[in-house]
């Protein structure tokens, strides 16, 4: 609301009368006693719009560039719901409350290493793990393991020997793989071109890992694969030292 004052001169005795009234805001502006249409103020462009203009790129083109350009099979779409990454084991310590557990600090390409608790203690000494490249299932819901919260899972191949004892080996990315790389199934594709993995809650609720894991095995050469799709990094196929045709979990 805007208060306007109207001034008019009296016809007699030189008296000036001032009457005031209230009216709604007008779409017109007064300049020099005349009314002109007001000009609407344009909304300033956002920083993203300015960046696109400077780069000579339209918003539609930018959106198209952000859309994954890789063609995926239905199986691959399901596989990429999980976030499997190359990692490096920085340190290993024995869990004080469980004889079968190690507590590892693992670099998976994030700002801070992840704490991951694994059941590898009966199968290999801590010294054989420290400094070694590994494969991490990274989008599981954190789990309390005897008082220590674990933020992922180390993937290993396992097989029972003739004597009935189980042999376990780490899955290891091929030499030259960068820490933090998201591993692929089939041909290697950069993470930017892949679908985003599911969140931990959805992984748990939909039992995504439980449905995929039974078909994850090493092949006759010891290379990791899901059915006939090899698990690969930018450097080549992931594998293990000796276990062939073995389960991966």
pLDDT, tens only, 165-178: 889 999 999 999 99
CA distances from 194 to 75, 91, 153, 231 (A): 13, 31, 21, 15
pLDDT-based confidence at 155, cuts 50/70/90?
very high
Q: Per-residue pLDDT for 105 more than 70? A: yes
Q: Per-residue pLDDT for 232 more than 50? A: yes
Q: Which residues sit opposite 160 in a β-bridge?
A: 166
DSSP 150: E
Q: Which residues sit opposite 93 in a β-bridge?
A: 103
Q: Please compute, for residue 234, the number of CA atoms within 13 A of its CA located in the half-sphere on the CB side.
A: 11
Each domain of the chain, given as residue ranges in start order, spans 2-37, 74-248
Q: Per-residue pLDDT for 20 more than 50? A: no
Q: Per-residue pLDDT for 18 more than 70? A: no
Please give the Cα distance from 93 to 130 (Å, whole number): 10
The overall pTM is greater than 0.85: no
Q: What is the mean pLDDT of the chain?
A: 83
pLDDT-based confidence at 160, cuts 50/70/90?
confident
Residue with tokens 């208060």, as numbered in its chain: 3
pLDDT at 70: 79
pLDDT at 66: 47
Give the pLDDT confidence of 25-63 residue by residue, as tens digits: 555 555 555 555 555 445 555 555 545 554 555 555 544
- Of the two residues 246 and 162, the one the predictor is more confident about is 246
Q: Per-residue pLDDT for 106 more than 50? A: yes
Q: Per-residue pLDDT for 162 more than 60? A: no
Mean pLDDT confidence for 120-132: 97
pLDDT at 37: 54
Fold adopted by 74-248: OB fold (Dihydrolipoamide Acetyltransferase, E2P) (2.40.50)
The closest alpha carbon to 92, from 61, 124, 60, 52, belongs to 124
Out of 85-94, 159-168, 183-192, pick the least confident. Answer: 159-168
Tokens (6 digits) for 140: 């599981």
Type and span of the H or E element at 64: helix 59-66
E-assigned strand segments in the chain: 2-9, 16-23, 28-31, 34-37, 84-94, 102-107, 114-118, 133-137, 143-145, 148-150, 153-154, 156-160, 166-170, 184-185, 216-218, 224-226, 229-233, 236-237, 247-248
Please give the Cα distance from 143 to 65 (Å, whole number): 37
pLDDT at 239: 98
């Amino acid at each position: 609301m805007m208060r306007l004052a109207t001034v008019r001169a009296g016809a007699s005795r030189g008296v000036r009368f001032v009457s005031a009234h209230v009216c709604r805001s007008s779409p017109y502006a007064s300049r020099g006693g005349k009314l002109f249409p007001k000009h609407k103020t344009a909304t300033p462009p956002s920083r993203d719009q300015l960046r696109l203009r400077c780069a000579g790129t339209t918003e539609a083109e930018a959106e198209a560039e952000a859309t994954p350009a890789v063609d995926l099979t239905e199986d691959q779409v399901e596989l990429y719901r999980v976030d499997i990454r190359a990692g490096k084991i920085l340190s290993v310590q024995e869990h004080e409350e469980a004889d079968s557990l190690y507590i590892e600090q693992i670099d998976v390409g994030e700002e801070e290493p992840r704490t991951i608790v694994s059941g590898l203690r009966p199968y290999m000494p801590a010294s054989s793990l420290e400094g070694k490249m590994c494969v991490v299932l990274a989008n599981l819901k954190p789990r309390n393991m005897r008082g220590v919260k674990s933020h992922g899972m180390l993937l290993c191949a396992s097989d029972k020997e003739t004597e009935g004892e189980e042999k376990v080996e780490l899955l290891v990315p091929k030499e030259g793989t960068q820490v933090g790389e998201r591993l692929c199934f089939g041909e290697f594709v950069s993470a930017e071109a892949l679908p985003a993995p599911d969140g931990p809650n959805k992984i748990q609720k939909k039992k995504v890992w439980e449905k995929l894991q039974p078909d994850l095995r090493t092949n006759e050469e010891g290379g990791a694969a899901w059915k006939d799709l090899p698990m690969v990094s930018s450097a080549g196929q992931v594998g293990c030292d000796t276990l062939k045709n073995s389960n991966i979990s």
